[in-house]
A and B are shown apart, each in its own frame.
Chain A
Amino acid sequence: MNWIHIASILGAAIAIAIGSVGPALGQGRSVAAAMDAIARQPEAANTVSRALFVGLAMIETMAIYCLVIALLLLFANPFA
């Protein structure tokens, strides 16, 4: 195990750890806003929840990108 392997593992762990913080905050905010909107206007619940799902999927993609980078570092590292 040379230093490139060690750096790759550390890089993967850091990528996931930091990369999941932002999407978590963003998803929390969007769910809170959607709950607020549904509480104010219960008849718009269908529209709001569909927009919420699509938006959550968009935000979640950021975390998924970090996951893919981590997997590339671990399993398909071009330098190791």
Chain B
Amino acid sequence: MTINSPLESHIVFTIGSVPVAQPVITTWAIMAALVTGSWWATRRLRVEHPSRVQAALEMIVETVTVQIRETIGGAPKPYLPLIGTLFIFLLVANWSSLLPGVEPPTATLETDAALALIVFAATLWFGVRALGLRRYLATFAMPSAFMLPINLVELFTRSFSLTVRLFGNVMSGAFMIGVVLSLAGLFVPIPLMALEMLTGAVQAYIFGALAMVFIGSAISEASDNQQGTPA
């Protein structure tokens, strides 16, 4: 029995000199499905007599809004597109392994690294936007100047741990299902797949929640500073 390495991805075809791997195709398919689905679902929005699709959508948006308001604090409007998209994309990507023949794109390290980079950039962006560049950089030396290296290291390690956490959880689930499937055929992997659905949903929530916590910490350092300095 040979097991393919989960650290390498299968290259399907090349455009010019750019190799296109299987997770890239799956990611673009999921993106296309989400964009088309969103366009279709928001085509006819009505205030009176909302359709079932609209009610479901409003429930999702409302849940994410409440979470953002409780975690970050303040108006959730600037963060809603980012957090909502991350959560919905991750949920669909993690559950895409339920389709036969589809490997979840989040089970490869590169996809997770790209998503963590988005969160990293968003943290910097929201922090700078709330404080201005100079005062945001000053927050890295905030309790005292001795904390500067620790804060800088933390900035990178938490993006790394975000990557590895998502990769490890989703990949180990897919890996376990593959191993069990190769050992015992028909109905044995079904409980594992149910567990994997739960793990996928929890990981999507965790990723969104951690993105909110990181952004919230950048913002709250801002509000602490504003309280500290006399206006």
Contact = CB atoms under 8 A, between A and B. Distances in A.
B161 A61 contact: yes
Interface residues of A, number: 17
B177 interface: no
A68 interface: yes
Contacts of A61: 161, 164-165
Interface in A32-80: 46-47, 50, 53-54, 57-58, 60-61, 64-65, 67-68, 71-72, 75-76
Given A64-B169, A71-B7, A53 B164 contact: no
A76 B161 CA distance: 20
Nearest to A54: B209
B165 A71 contact: no
Given A46-B70, A50-B71, A50-B209, A57 B7 contact: no
Contact residues of B: prevailing secondary structure: helix
Contacts of B169: 60, 64
Given A50-B71, A76-B5, A60 B209 contact: no
Interface residues of B, number: 20
Nearest to B205: A53
B213 A71 contact: no
A interface, over-half SS: helix
B5 A53 contact: no
Contacts of A50: 67, 70-71, 209
Interface of A: 46-47, 50, 53-54, 57-58, 60-61, 64-65, 67-68, 71-72, 75-76
19 contacts: A46-B70, A50-B67, A50-B71, A53-B206, A53-B209, A57-B165, A57-B210, A58-B161, A60-B165, A60-B169, A61-B164, A65-B164, A65-B168, A67-B168, A75-B6, A75-B7, A75-B8, A76-B5, A76-B7
